[in-house]
């Protein structure tokens, strides 16, 4: 007979059920019930779709070079905070396609029950696979790319499908026609464009309107160090009724506290990920430090102030951020807790918020 009366420390420990972390014992992820009270939402132009004021982009930090558990933690935390939009592209990684594959795994494990609460987007146009059909704006590339993206993510449709770049060798009518076909096929709910000039944006919107698939949104690069959309693009988007979702509001990470005293190990600049050491010129750094002081007076991090600054114009629907950890994500979403900018603060920021050396990596496409 088993003796259950012994109470030595070793025997008590041997009989105690081990404590396992929730991610091991719970097969399903349960999002925070108050997530929609934590996030502000804005209408997309004059359309009926609302988007979170902050959306999560998977350009960096979701390829196979980043531990899957960390990726999963960031995406879970994003949804807990009310971030409902997850932005991808066919060639996000590395390697190309891996961000979509990893997101698809996370979606299947955690987010599938909440599919109708999510806005999932992807894009086609930049280099993806070898040969003449692996990039640009032909109907062949655009629709083949979407099919591949859906397979990688395990989805039957995306909510927004973008033309990622202008292609001078493909008629705009062909590229926009491919986007409209994706909607007619039920493989996309809406369509958007990225890094298009104001004139081509207006033309694209007119083509799509004639095809019965209105342009929903434009995704341009926009930050304190790259203000090109203010001259004309925002007015154009307002005229055609489309929204705006700027990417890289932190200027590829420059508008953070990370580079105030040099280039830290493990930072994007140290890894050569779209932020070269040449961008950290003394002129840029001097303006970063000045903006940092303004943010401190506001009780914000520089990143928080930079994100909130991009949202100061009501024509901007959402700021598209990246995140390498749940803590960084939380800091970014905390931008929405900041006080509105006073006229005096905006005037002071304007003294330093000017084009930065080497910041606009997309000026060729956006200038065509």
What pLDDT band is residue 367 in, cutting at 50, 70 and 90?
confident
Residues 207-219 have a mean pLDDT of: 98
pLDDT over threshold 60, residue 4: no
pLDDT for 6 equals: 61
pLDDT in tens, 61-73: 999 999 999 999 9
CB 185 within 8 A of CB 355: no
* Structure token digits, residue 213: 């698939």
* Structure token digits, residue 165: 């770049």
Position with higher pLDDT, 4 vs 288: 288
* Structure token digits, residue 182: 């994706």
Residues 282-286 have a mean pLDDT of: 88
Residues 256-282 have a mean pLDDT of: 66
- The 3-state DSSP class for residue 349 equals helix
pLDDT over threshold 80, residue 279: no
pLDDT for 260 equals: 86
pLDDT over threshold 50, residue 270: no
* Structure token digits, residue 66: 């980043």
Helix intervals (H) in 131-229: 139-153, 172-184, 198-210
pLDDT in tens, 169-197: 999 999 999 999 999 999 999 999 999 99
- Give CA–CA dist 271/265, Å, rounded: 9
H or E, element range at 258: none
Helix intervals (H) in 272-342: 282-298, 302-310, 326-333
Give the highest mean pLDDT range of 2-6, 19-23, 111-115.
111-115
Residues 251-273 have a mean pLDDT of: 71
Residues 288-315 have a mean pLDDT of: 97
Residues 326-347 have a mean pLDDT of: 97
Q: Exposed e or buried b for every residue in 204-241, given b needs 16+ CB within 10 A?
A: bbebbeebebbbbbbbbbbbbbbebbeeebbebbeebe
Report the mean per-residue pLDDT for the chain: 92
pLDDT for 112 equals: 97
Indicate the length of the chain as a whole number. Answer: 368
Residues 240-259 have a mean pLDDT of: 95
pLDDT over threshold 70, residue 278: no
% residues pLDDT > 90 (the chain): 80
- Give CA–CA dist 225/309, Å, rounded: 12
pTM of the model: 0.89
Q: Side-chain half-sphere of 137: how many Cα atoms within 13 Å?
A: 22
Give the highest mean pLDDT range of 6-15, 159-168, 355-364.
159-168
């Amino acid at each position: 007979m088993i003796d259950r009366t012994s109470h030595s420390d070793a025997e008590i420990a041997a009989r105690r059920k081990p404590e396992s972390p929730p991610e091991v014992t719970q097969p399903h992820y349960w999002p925070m019930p108050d997530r929609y009270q934590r996030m502000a939402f804005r209408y997309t132009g004059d359309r009926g779709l609302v988007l979170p004021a902050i959306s999560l982009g998977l350009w960096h930090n979701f390829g196979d070079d980043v531990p899957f558990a960390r990726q999963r933690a960031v995406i879970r935390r994003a949804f807990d905070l009310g971030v409902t939009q997850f932005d991808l592209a066919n060639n996000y990684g590395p390697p190309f396609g891996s961000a979509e594959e990893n997101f698809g795994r996370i979606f299947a494990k955690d987010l599938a029950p909440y599919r109708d609460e999510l806005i999932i987007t992807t894009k086609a146009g930049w280099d993806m696979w070898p040969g003449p059909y692996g990039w640009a704006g032909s109907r062949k590339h655009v629709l083949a790319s979407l099919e591949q993206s859906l397979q990688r993510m395990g989805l039957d449709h995306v909510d927004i499908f973008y033309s990622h770049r202008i292609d001078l060798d493909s008629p705009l009518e062909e590229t926009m026609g491919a986007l409209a076909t994706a909607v007619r096929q039920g493989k996309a709910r809406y369509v958007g464009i990225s890094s298009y000039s104001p004139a081509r944006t207006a033309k694209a919107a007119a083509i799509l309107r004639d095809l019965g698939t209105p342009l929903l949104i434009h995704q341009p690069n926009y930050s304190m160090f790259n203000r090109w959309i203010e001259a004309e693009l925002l007015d154009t988007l307002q005229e055609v009724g489309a929204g705006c979702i700027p990417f890289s509001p932190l200027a590829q990470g420059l508008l953070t506290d990370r580079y105030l005293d040099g280039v830290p190990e493990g930072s994007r600049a140290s890894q050569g990920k779209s932020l070269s050491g040449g961008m950290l010129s003394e002129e840029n750094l001097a303006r970063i430090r000045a903006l940092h002081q303004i943010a401190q007076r506001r009780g914000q991090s520089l990143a928080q102030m930079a994100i909130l600054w991009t949202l100061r114009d009501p024509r901007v629907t959402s700021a598209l951020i990246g995140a390498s950890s749940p803590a960084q994500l939380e800091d970014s979403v905390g931008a929405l807790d900041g006080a509105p900018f006073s006229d005096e603060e905006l005037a002071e920021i304007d003294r330093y918020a000017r084009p930065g050396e080497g910041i606009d990596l997309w000026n060729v496409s956006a200038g065509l």
